[in-house]
Structure 1
Amino acid sequence: MMTIKTLACAAALSLASLAAQAAGDHSHAHEHKPLHGGVVVEASDIDFELVAKAEQITLYVRDHGKPASTAGAVAKLTLLSGADKSELALSPAGDNKLEAKGSFKTGPGTKVVATVTLAGKKPVNVRFSLK
């Protein structure tokens, strides 16, 4: 039969383990640096790099530092620039990128919310703030 002391010790160890995981205490074998001059955000263990220009928006995808396939992926972006709000769809445009071409209001301070669904995966929401 377990004693109260044993149960308390087990509970304390479980809580400490959960706290470390919640704090993001995990090691990476890769860095989160931009490779294309954009803004990098990690979500669901995947790095998303957003490169936003007035005529083209590209989202690069890396999984543990390596290019992730965007074949069959779909993505939607919401751009918030001051009082302006616009939405656009991104399409696969190469091995690890999604892209849209057109005329976009981007610049420092623009907030971007991306919903990305890679083939066979659950949707991931990613938030960017352009510099």
Structure 2
Amino acid sequence: MNRSTTRAALAALALALATATALPAHAHGDGHSHTPHHGGVVTEVGDMDYELVAQPERITLHLRDHGKPAKTEGASARLTLLSGSDKTEATLTPAAAGTLEAKGQFKVAPGTKVVALVTLPGKKAANVRFAVK
């Protein structure tokens, strides 16, 4: 292959990759969207949607598996909240179908970063990241 053919092939490959990654997250055809259902911030990891609703007295994590509430019996989540120079940790436990929750006093404001380690029975732990809006 000569240089011009190689360059053309690389350019075509780059265009194909750029086009493929520009598709919206809900385009994989299973019919579920990644919009917040509870007014929080949504992050997708694997086939699960995690919606964080962070309030000063309560932090709730809603889990959806293919658009339906995930089974949270026996599940837990360990959250680290980073707000400016403040670092707070919280442990969430099952509260309702598809929901993990912690009550207490939390510093949450726009820009707060949250890292969650979510453990579901029989599944590999998921590392989920959020930025509070």
If the TM-score is normalised by the length of the shorter chain, which range does it land in? 0.7 to 0.9
Structure 2 CA distance, aligned partners of 1:54 and 1:110? 12
Deviation at 1:56, TM superposition (A): 0.2
Unpaired runs of 5+ residues, structure 1, are 1-14
Q: Report what 1:54 is aligned to.
A: 56
Deviation at 1:75, TM superposition (A): 0.6
Amino acid at match of 1:83: S
Q: Report what 2:84 is aligned to.
A: 82
Tell me the number of residue pairs that the alignment of Structure 1 and Structure 2 aligns: 113
Structure 2 CA distance, aligned partners of 1:114 and 1:27? 27
**Does residue 63 in structure 1 map to residue 59 in structure 2?**
no
Deviation at 1:129, TM superposition (A): 0.2
Amino acid at match of 1:109: G
**Does residue 30 in structure 1 map to residue 32 in structure 2?**
yes
- Aligned pairs (5 A) from 1:1-131: 23=21, 26-131=28-133
Unpaired runs of 5+ residues, structure 2, are 1-12
- Per the normalisation by structure 2, the TM-score is 0.79
Q: Partner of 1:35: helix, strand, or coil?
A: coil
